[in-house]
Amino acid sequence: MRSDEPEPGAPADARRSDVTFPVGRDSCAAWLYRPENVERPPVIVMAHGFGATRTLRLDAYAQRFVDAGYAVLVFDYRHFGDRTGQPRELLSLSRQRQDWQAAIAYARALPGVDTGRVVAWGSSLSGGHVLHAAAHDQDLAAVIAQVPHVAGPHATTN
């Protein structure tokens, strides 16, 4: 589903569209922000950590990036937020990594963006996911990992 009209509450200087992209038999829901008057902007792909969803203020981060001239794809994992995955609220690291791969692939297929400059942004658990993505995808232009969760149970014993 796509819309070129700004959503209620979306910033006036960016178009925000509701989009979905497939992951296996399911799909992930996302917001796609496009900056105004920027030709072929780089695109940042972002998702929340642990079990949070995009509605928990990722729009504020996205708007800052849009103001700097980036397109931004903000997605929910398929078992959280506006999604199709069953069971609900399932925290699966391997499935979330698959969601990241699908989101990055979707961003690379977007028309009108610089698909050679795709950036992965993550915080907490998703910070660990973007580091994992970068280790397996040398075509990412950059990674932003905010307080990445990387050590799991090992971190609690030290």
For 89-144, the pLDDT digits (tens) are 666 777 889 999 999 999 999 999 999 999 999 988 788 888 999 999 999 999 99
Whether pTM > 0.75 for this model: the answer is: yes
Does residue 71 lie in a domain region?
yes
Does residue 4 lie in a domain region?
no
Does residue 1 lie in a domain region?
no
What pLDDT is recorded for position 154? 57
Q: Are strands 26-35 and 118-123 parallel, antiparallel or unpaired?
A: unpaired
Q: How many domains does the chain have?
A: 1
CATH number at residue 54: 3.40.50.1820
Mean pLDDT, to the nearest integer, of 19-42?
Answer: 93
User: Sign of dihedral through CA atoms 104, 138, 145, 60?
Assistant: negative
pLDDT single digits (tens) 32-78: 999 999 999 999 999 987 766 666 678 889 999 999 999 999 998 88
Domain that holds residue 104: 14-151
Reduced 3-state DSSP string for 27-63: EEEEEEEEECCCCCCCEEEEECCCCCCCCCCHHHHHH
Does residue 8 lie in a domain region?
no
pLDDT single digits (tens) 37-49: 999 999 999 998 7
Does residue 25 lie in a domain region?
yes
